[in-house]
Amino acid sequence: MSAQSFDLYQLSEDHLALREAVRAVSQDKIAPHAAEVDERGEFPQAAYDALRAADFHAPHIPQAYEGVGADALAVCLVIEEVARVCASSALIPAVNKLGTMPLLLAGDEELKSRYLPPVARGEAMFSYGLSEREAGSDTAAMRTRARRDGEDWVLDGQKSWITNAGVSRYYTVMALTDPDGPRGHNVSAFVVHADDPGFSLGALERKLGIKGSPTRELHFDGCRIPGDRMVGAPGEGLKIALRTLDHTRITIGAQAIGIAAGALDFALGYVKERKQFGKAIAQFQGVQFMLADMAMKLEAARQLVYLAAAKSEREEADLAFFGAAAKCYASDVAMEITTDAVQLLGGYGYTKDYPVERMMRDAKITQIYEGTNQIQRLVMARQLLK
């Protein structure tokens, strides 16, 4: 790794104030609805309203486009604090960043001026369409096509597992524009509107966790869009998509540590109150060792996520390694910590009367989306072997 691997980050007073503000909103406005959102599988509208009122719904958008211009570390703090109480709600700022990041990285000024302000104002959400049924980890194998027709583009195909599909107004979609061209260099990126002719949504996916965040397929059947909706140059779509993920995988790491922190917080409170053999179970060494390991792993993951966020902000050369490492390690840790939290609550942990079983279910997806953790390890290895 480069010498930059040892660069540090520092939480400023503004960062700390932001954390407290988001925590207050999360506890007061989002936490009370989290269990119901999960139980009913409904989009967390109350959370969206609260996040919009506080400008936490899309904090990454620059001030030039009516956003608050939060840096990458601040965005992670927002997502982490929301995820402590509701992982589904944390996907509001996370997916708004995912959907708009291609525009920020490669869009021209006209595109950015057209699409970023409505998201910043909370008038629209933005999703991201890359994966397909037969092109998950192998993104270059996508089959969705976009062909020129006069001044327009016409899209045919489908995208799978699209987060917040149905509530988002806009979608960044990757499609083949040169099917016979070189693999990986024949994909372009487009902005699709929810009301574009030929665009439709599949049924809601029935999921293990993050049930309040709708997941659907996107279907394109002769979907006609104007020619000025291409993001970046023709053939650069996959490059833009992978650059986007270098930045946004870190937000999944932030979501993971938020879920884990929420589970550890609840477990700590429980073991101090639960009595067995005449004393609180927190006094047993076996329980203390579990708690120590949980806290140690959580803090290590948090430091890695924050460092990766700082590297994202600085666009450092080793971002690909650290983005993958932060997402991979934090999500693995989140799965361990939430599982241990369920164990610490015993039989109660396995019931929906307590939030840790929901947190365990929610944690699992962080090991899968935005690139499975097996793919993250490939990314890291390739960076090491360069």
Residues assigned a catalytic role: 370
Backbone angles phi, psi at 175, to 5 degrees: -150, 150
Other Cβ atoms within 10 Å of 141 Cβ, number: 12
> Where does residue 59 fall: left (phi above 0), alpha (psi -120 to 50 degrees), or beta otherwise?
alpha
Q: Where are the alpha helices (DSSP H) in the chain?
A: 13-25, 31-40, 45-53, 72-83, 87-106, 109-120, 237-273, 285-314, 319-344, 356-365, 373-385
Other Cβ atoms within 10 Å of 137 Cβ, number: 11
Dist. CA 191–CA 194, nearest whole Å = 10
Place of tokens 């040169």: 178
Dist. CA 279–CA 274, nearest whole Å = 8
Dist. CA 371–CA 324, nearest whole Å = 9
Dist. CA 232–CA 21, nearest whole Å = 36
Q: How would DSSP label each residue in 244-290?
A: HHHHHHHHHHHHHHHHHHHHHHHHHHHHHH-EETTEEGGGSHHHHHH
